[in-house]
Amino acid sequence: MKKSILRYTQFMGICTLLGFSFSCQKKEIIEEKFSTTTASTEQKEAVKVDPTTSLRAYSASSFAVVNKASTVAANGTKIPIVFTQGLFGFGREELLGLKYWGGGFKDLQEILKSNGYPTYTSNVGPISSNYDRAIELFYQIKGGSVDYGKAHSDKFGHLQKVGKTYPGLYPEWDKNHPIHLIGHSMGGQTIRYLLGLLEKGSVIERSIDGHAPIFDGNRKGWVKSITTISTPNSGTSLENTLGTGIVKLVKDVAISLANLSNTTGIDKVLYNFDIEQWGMNRDPNESFLSYVNKIGQSKLWASQDEGAYDLSIKGAMELNEFATTSPDVYYFALCTKATNTGILTGWEYPKLTMFAPCIPLVYPYAWPLPPGVGNYTNSNASANAGVIIDKKWWANDGLANTYSMRGPIGSKTVDYTPNMSIEKGTWYAELFNGYDHFDIVGLTIKDVTPLYLEHAKLLSQLQ
Ligand SMILES: [Zn+2]
C-alpha cells in the first residue's frame, strides 16, 4: 500500500507538471485571462448543475444484447481487449510503472484479466500521427517489424523502417481471432485508423513492389468492436481558441517537460517519445533535456504527420475521410462532460472538479477577451473543413468537446440505453457527466473500475 501511495504521489506530481506546462504555453493569451478568471468565476451567471453519473448504477444495470449472448469467438476462444492511449500517453513500464489505464492505485488491465476478460495494453508513439500510431499498433498486436510504408515515408521525409520488432501481444490475431479495440482520447482516432488500414489497406503503398502485407487491406472481421473514450472524433475546438494552435502547444509542452524534469531531478522517470522514424533515437546516456531539445528541432513539427494536427477539426475531418464507420464493426463512444451550463447564455463553465490546469483552457470568457471552448463559435464552415462550430460544441471535458466524442460527424449515432438492441455500423454514445478527460481512465481519484467491468461484459456479449 505504501508503494501505491508513493507511486500515486509521484504520478500526480508528473500530471501537475504536465498540466502546468500546458497552461504556461497558453500564457500569451491566458495571462490576460488568468487575471480575470477569478473575477469571472465569481461573477458568472447561475448554472444548471447536472448530477455526476453514478457508476454504481451503471454497474448494476444489465446488458441484454438482443443477439444471443456469447463470450467467445467462433473458434471458442475469448475475444481479447486491447487498450490504446492518447496524446502524451505512456506504456506500462514507463513512469515508474504507473498505469495510464487505472492511475496510481488501480491497474485496469489486470482487473479485467482477473475478471475473465483477456486484456492487453499497447504503447504507440505519444506525439506521432494517427497513421504512424496505427501502423505501430498493428505490429504491436500482431507481431513483426514496423514498416510505415515507402510512399508515406517519402512523402513526409521520415524513415520507412526503424528496426523495431515486436513479438505480438496476440499473434493469433486474424478474422477467426478478432479483438476489441478501446482507445482513450487520440487513441480512439488511432484505433479507427487501424481499422481503416485493416479493411482498406493503402492504394498507393500496395502499388509499390515489396510493400508490407498490411497495405493490402482485406482484413474484415479482425476487429469485433471499437470503443472511443473522450475521443475528439471530429477534432477539438481547443485548436481554434488557442491562438498559436495545438501543434505549438504540444511541442512547447514536450520541451517544457524536459526542462522541468531537468530541474526537478525526475529525469529518469520520464519516457521515450518513440519517434525513431524521424531519426530521433534516445541515446541511453543522453539526458532527457538534450533528447527533447533535439526533438524540438525535428522537421516533424512542420509536417502534418504528427498527432496534434490530427486533433484539430481540419486534421480530424481529413482522418475521417479514410477512417469511415465500418458496417461490420460495433461502435461505442464513452463521452465525458465536466462543465455546467449557464442558464442565461448557455455557455459551458468548468466544474470545480475539472483538472485545474484545463480550466483556463476551456473557460467561456466574456468579450473583450477571446472566447474559450465553452463559448467559442465559428460560422465559417470553410475554415474548419466544412464544420460550423456552434453551441453544440460548448460542453467539454477540459480538452475535448463532448459533441465531438459522440462519433465522427455524419455517422449514425444513437444514445445508448441499457437493454437496447446493438447493431454493427452504428455509434452508441453514452454520457458520463462530471468526469473530465483524465477521470475517465482512472488517472485521478475517481474509481472507474465498475465502468470498465461493465463495458467488458457488454463487449463479451456481442455476437
Ligand atoms: Zn509518418
- How close is the Cα of 131 to the center of ligand 1, in Å? 6
Mind listing the pLDDT tens digit for each residue in 385-415? 999 999 999 999 999 999 999 999 999 999 9
More confident residue, 35 or 403: 403
The pLDDT > 70 percentage for the chain reads 80
- How close is the Cα of 235 to the center of ligand 1, in Å? 19
> Which residue among 184, 211, 437, 455 is the active-site one?
437
Q: Is-contact 396 374, C-beta < 8 A?
A: yes
Determine which helix (DSSP H) or strand (DSSP E) holds 332, and give its type and residue range. strand 330-337
Pairing of strands 179-184, 81-84: parallel
- How close is the Cα of 332 to the center of ligand 1, in Å? 27
Which amino acid, residue 18? L
Which range (300-314, 336-350, 437-451) has the least confidence? 300-314
More confident residue, 436 or 44: 436
Determine which helix (DSSP H) or strand (DSSP E) holds 132, and give its type and residue range. helix 130-142
- How close is the Cα of 318 to the center of ligand 1, in Å? 15
Distance CA 380, CA 389 (A): 8
- Residue 312 pLDDT exceeds 50: yes
Exposed, middle or buried, 131 (CB in 10 Å: 0-12/13-18/19+)? Answer: buried
pLDDT band at 81 (very low <50, low <70, confident <90, very high): very high
User: Taking the CA of residue 206 as centre, how many other CA atoms within 13 Å lie in the half-sphere pointing to its CB?
Assistant: 12
- How close is the Cα of 307 to the center of ligand 1, in Å? 10
E strand residue ranges, 160-319: 161-166, 179-184, 223-229
Indicate the length of the chain as a whole number. 463
Distance CA 423, CA 268 (A): 47
- What dotted CATH number matches 2-247+306-460? 3.40.50.1820
Q: Is-contact 145 190, C-beta < 8 A?
A: no
Beta-bridge partners for 356: none
What is the model's pLDDT at position 31? 46
User: Taking the CA of residue 252 as centre, how many other CA atoms within 13 Å lie in the half-sphere pointing to its CB?
Assistant: 16
Place of cell 517519402: 154
Distance CA 448, CA 106 (A): 9
- How close is the Cα of 275 to the center of ligand 1, in Å? 9
- How close is the Cα of 330 to the center of ligand 1, in Å? 28
> Which residue among 397, 404, 439, 460 is the active-site one?
397
User: Taking the CA of residue 179 as centre, how many other CA atoms within 13 Å lie in the half-sphere pointing to its CB?
Assistant: 28
C-alpha angle 259/263/268, rounded to 5°? 85
More confident residue, 198 or 239: 198
160-165: average pLDDT: 93
- This prediction's pTM: 0.89
Average pLDDT, the chain: 84
Exposed, middle or buried, 168 (CB in 10 Å: 0-12/13-18/19+)? Answer: middle
Distance CA 350, CA 338 (A): 6
Active site residue 180: no
Q: How far is C-alpha 281 from the geometric centre of its chain's CA atoms?
A: 24
- How close is the Cα of 302 to the center of ligand 1, in Å? 13
* Cell numbers found for residue 438: 483524465
Q: Is-contact 81 459, C-beta < 8 A?
A: yes
What is the model's pLDDT at position 149? 98
Exposed, middle or buried, 4 (CB in 10 Å: 0-12/13-18/19+)? Answer: exposed
184-212: average pLDDT: 97
- How close is the Cα of 289 to the center of ligand 1, in Å? 24
Whether cis (ω within 30° of 0) applies to the bond prior to 368 is yes
- How close is the Cα of 398 to the center of ligand 1, in Å? 28
Which amino acid, residue 405? M
Q: Is-contact 119 112, C-beta < 8 A?
A: yes
pLDDT band at 275 (very low <50, low <70, confident <90, very high): confident
What is the model's pLDDT at position 216? 98
- How close is the Cα of 15 to the center of ligand 1, in Å? 28
The conformation of residue 177, written as its DSSP 8-state character, comes to: B
Q: Is-contact 89 137, C-beta < 8 A?
A: no
- Residue 263 pLDDT exceeds 80: no
pLDDT band at 291 (very low <50, low <70, confident <90, very high): confident
Q: Is-contact 169 299, C-beta < 8 A?
A: no
Active site residue 50: no
What is the model's pLDDT at position 23? 47
Pairing of strands 47-48, 339-342: antiparallel
- How close is the Cα of 276 to the center of ligand 1, in Å? 11
- Residue 26 pLDDT exceeds 60: no
Q: How far is C-alpha 447 from the geometric centre of its chain's CA atoms?
A: 19
Measure the N-to-C terminal CA separation of the chain; round to a whole number of Å: 40
Range from 25-29, 173-177, 252-256, 262-266 that averages highest in pLDDT:
173-177
> Which residue among 23, 122, 153, 185 is the active-site one?
185
- How close is the Cα of 151 to the center of ligand 1, in Å? 10
More confident residue, 142 or 308: 142
Active site residue 184: no
Alpha helices in 284-402 (DSSP H): 288-296, 307-311, 313-322, 359-362
Q: Is-contact 125 274, C-beta < 8 A?
A: yes
Mind listing the pLDDT tens digit for each residue in 93-115? 666 667 889 987 889 999 999 99
Q: Is-contact 255 292, C-beta < 8 A?
A: yes
Contacts of 106 (CB under 8 A, 6+ apart): 99, 442, 447, 449
